[in-house]
A and B are shown apart, each in its own frame.
Chain A
């Protein structure tokens, strides 16, 4: 009994010391699931290189924003930038920096799975239930020489609230006024037709199961599973296949200083039109909740590393790199972080 009590105290002491030990050198974050595989790799490497441990919980963009607003994390991750309304709710100024790029692809299941060409308006009409047959002349007109079946179209969407849906509906809102008015842009929508499935895996599974279906999944997911993806007509009039290059190209446009911008329906001639940044969010004034200066600096260094050295790991994991214009903007934002009113970044 006595031995057990001793062991208990020794274990308690070990746990306490490890908690205290990590205090200065560990950061916590929470948010978007979409960049999680990349963040996980980054933070793992960063831990090896610098000894700073980072605990990122992929609980979803909404959760990441909530946790940052209640100041229980050092940084949040989000696929949709915070609205002005949400920013006003915060007790301090919140910064956004983009970390990588993702894209939403349109995938389908028709006999032979030929490569299809689609326009944004057409996709909007399909997901609004206005085009119900694959053999519709509007689809056939864009795909001369492709044999389209006389099948009903089943539109599959995400049933869970997700950044993927936000990006997809953001694009459709820009290209189709009717979509904007009737459905709109958001993480969860009032879908006029079709089926809902949970997660990228759910949509992919459902599309594979149902002949004549069409759905949308993240680029990474479509690539890893070798799913057919549609070429989509961009603003410049080119039909662009989703790829790391075309996604990166989509972001090669002029960005506002706070980087809160939607790059769907991009002006870039070679850009894939349903691309988006994913962001890390954090407070400008880092001294909240009695955080130590060391902790604030550790965060600033981490962010700097993510948009510079970190970028070289992006493509292996099928995330597109930030274009140099975006990196420049990000540098300026990190340099304007403050601690008790004083500039934090002095290197």
Chain B
């Protein structure tokens, strides 16, 4: 009887793992197959030109690629000071007690807010604020654009970096820290020379997770980025991202090449996130190995 349950469990676990693998590779294959027509139609200019005109069947995805990279990276950069501060505060300085738990769940709660709400908030609160800044700067006061989208993204991804980094910082063995204190280190020196070196790979993993989230975010970005399919010239310009253009145009794309172009954008997004992920794993591995040696 026990053997049977063992085999059964083994089979279930194994098939689920293999199933996931098949699903992901199937997804990739489907995307490649359906993206082929547009590559046959416009070749590599799909990746390197910036005119997106469905009517005249000109498809250049460069503006979306650039828009995605700029908003995601900018979002992560803006969020870093806040998310890392929160992580150090809750992980090292103030790790226990009711108030700490309250703060922890408050940051985690940010991750649970639906993105459309962030979008609305961005459109009705952040955009008017940006408009005022843009009027001061003497540029076209759109209010929406790359800067607004990056700010919204930054707020959305704070909990991801913050909670992972927090947990990693908590895991730093107290004997290490105590040893440092025994040598006369100040709190800052402990954080700088013990906690950060010990936890940096985990913190980086948190940052990469946040970056992945920022790259794929659709709804909130669509609402505040201005959706202009053009190469942005400044960070206040309206732009567009890959996820946003797919969400916007997929439902009404009845023309075959057009549909294929949108699927090719999806493929690009898929490859982009995969590469980011692999790069992240590589970096984490490197750092961990160095630590152990």
In the complex, which of the residues A152, A184, A205, A211 contacts B56, with contact meaning CB atoms closer than 8 Å? Answer: A184
Q: Contacts of A86 on B, CB cut-off 8 Å?
A: 254
Residues B254 and A62 in contact, CB atoms below 8 Å apart: yes
Q: Contacts of A186 on B, CB cut-off 8 Å?
A: 54-55
Residue of chain A at shortest CB distance from B145: A195
A 138-164 binary contact with B (CB < 8 Å = 1; else 0): 000000000000001010000111110
B238 interface residue (CB < 8 Å to A):
yes
Least Cβ–Cβ distance between A337 and chain B, in angstroms: 24
Residues B227 and A190 in contact, CB atoms below 8 Å apart: no
If A195-B142, A196-B228, A210-B141 touch, whether A187 touches B123 (CB-CB below 8 Å) is no
Binds A, one of B14-22, B96-104, B198-206, B245-253: B245-253
Residues A62 and B53 in contact, CB atoms below 8 Å apart: no
A71 interface residue (CB < 8 Å to B):
no
- Taking CB atoms and an 8 Å cut-off, the chain B residues in 27-68 that contact chain A are 51-56, 58
B127 interface residue (CB < 8 Å to A):
yes
Residues A161 and B253 in contact, CB atoms below 8 Å apart: yes
Prevailing SS type, chain B contact patch: loop
- Taking CB atoms and an 8 Å cut-off, the chain A residues in 194-208 that contact chain B are 194-198, 202, 205-206
In the complex, which of the residues A61, A159, A205 contacts B227, with contact meaning CB atoms closer than 8 Å? Answer: A159
- Assembled-state Cα–Cα distance A86/B253 (Å): 12
A-B contacts, 17 listed (Cβ < 8 Å): A60-B252, A61-B254, A62-B252, A159-B240, A159-B244, A162-B252, A188-B54, A188-B248, A189-B55, A190-B229, A196-B248, A198-B222, A198-B227, A205-B123, A209-B128, A210-B131, A211-B141
B158 interface residue (CB < 8 Å to A):
no
Residues B128 and A188 in contact, CB atoms below 8 Å apart: no
A185 interface residue (CB < 8 Å to B):
yes
Least Cβ–Cβ distance between B46 and chain A, in angstroms: 15
Least Cβ–Cβ distance between B100 and chain A, in angstroms: 39
B223 interface residue (CB < 8 Å to A):
yes
Residue of chain B at shortest CB distance from A195: B226
Prevailing SS type, chain A contact patch: loop
B140 interface residue (CB < 8 Å to A):
yes
Q: Contacts of B249 on A, CB cut-off 8 Å?
A: 160-161, 188
Q: Contacts of B128 on A, CB cut-off 8 Å?
A: 209
A43 interface residue (CB < 8 Å to B):
no
A313 interface residue (CB < 8 Å to B):
no
- Assembled-state Cα–Cα distance A186/B238 (Å): 22
Residue of chain A at shortest CB distance from B51: A190
If A159-B222, A185-B55, A210-B131 touch, whether A195 touches B253 (CB-CB below 8 Å) is no
Residues B252 and A187 in contact, CB atoms below 8 Å apart: yes
If A161-B248, A162-B252, A198-B227 touch, whether A154 touches B123 (CB-CB below 8 Å) is no
Q: Contacts of A210 on B, CB cut-off 8 Å?
A: 131, 141-143
- Assembled-state Cα–Cα distance A152/B253 (Å): 33
Q: Which residues of A contact B (CB under 8 A)?
A: 59-63, 65-66, 86, 152, 154, 159-163, 183-191, 194-198, 202, 205-206, 209-211
With A60-B252, A190-B52 already in contact, 12 other A-B pairs whose C-beta atoms are closer than 8 Å: A60-B251, A62-B252, A154-B140, A154-B142, A185-B55, A188-B252, A194-B228, A195-B144, A197-B227, A209-B123, A209-B143, A210-B143
B94 interface residue (CB < 8 Å to A):
no
Least Cβ–Cβ distance between A155 and chain B, in angstroms: 11
Output the residue of B229, B247, B251 with the most chain A CB within 10 A: B251
Q: Contacts of B131 on A, CB cut-off 8 Å?
A: 210
Least Cβ–Cβ distance between B281 and chain A, in angstroms: 35
B124 interface residue (CB < 8 Å to A):
yes
Output the residue of A63, A65, A194, A198 with the most chain B CB within 10 A: A198
- Assembled-state Cα–Cα distance A111/B205 (Å): 50
Least Cβ–Cβ distance between A167 and chain B, in angstroms: 13
- Assembled-state Cα–Cα distance A66/B258 (Å): 13
Q: Contacts of B144 on A, CB cut-off 8 Å?
A: 195, 206
Residues B54 and A195 in contact, CB atoms below 8 Å apart: no
Closest 6 pairs between A and B when the two form their complex, measured CB to CB? A196-B227, A161-B252, A159-B227, A190-B53, A60-B251, A62-B254
- Assembled-state Cα–Cα distance A163/B125 (Å): 30
In the complex, which of the residues B127, B247, B248 contacts A209, with contact meaning CB atoms closer than 8 Å? Answer: B127
Residues A189 and B53 in contact, CB atoms below 8 Å apart: yes
If A160-B252, A210-B131 touch, whether A190 touches B55 (CB-CB below 8 Å) is yes
Residue of chain B at shortest CB distance from A202: B223
Residues B223 and A59 in contact, CB atoms below 8 Å apart: no
In the complex, which of the residues A152, A185, A198 contacts B248, with contact meaning CB atoms closer than 8 Å? Answer: A198
- Taking CB atoms and an 8 Å cut-off, the chain B residues in 229-247 that contact chain A are 229, 238, 240, 244, 247
Least Cβ–Cβ distance between B212 and chain A, in angstroms: 23
- Assembled-state Cα–Cα distance A85/B250 (Å): 20
- Assembled-state Cα–Cα distance A183/B52 (Å): 12
Least Cβ–Cβ distance between A107 and chain B, in angstroms: 17
Residue of chain B at shortest CB distance from A89: B256
If A186-B54, A210-B143 touch, whether A62 touches B251 (CB-CB below 8 Å) is yes
- Assembled-state Cα–Cα distance A296/B58 (Å): 41
- Assembled-state Cα–Cα distance A42/B234 (Å): 50
Residue of chain B at shortest CB distance from A63: B251
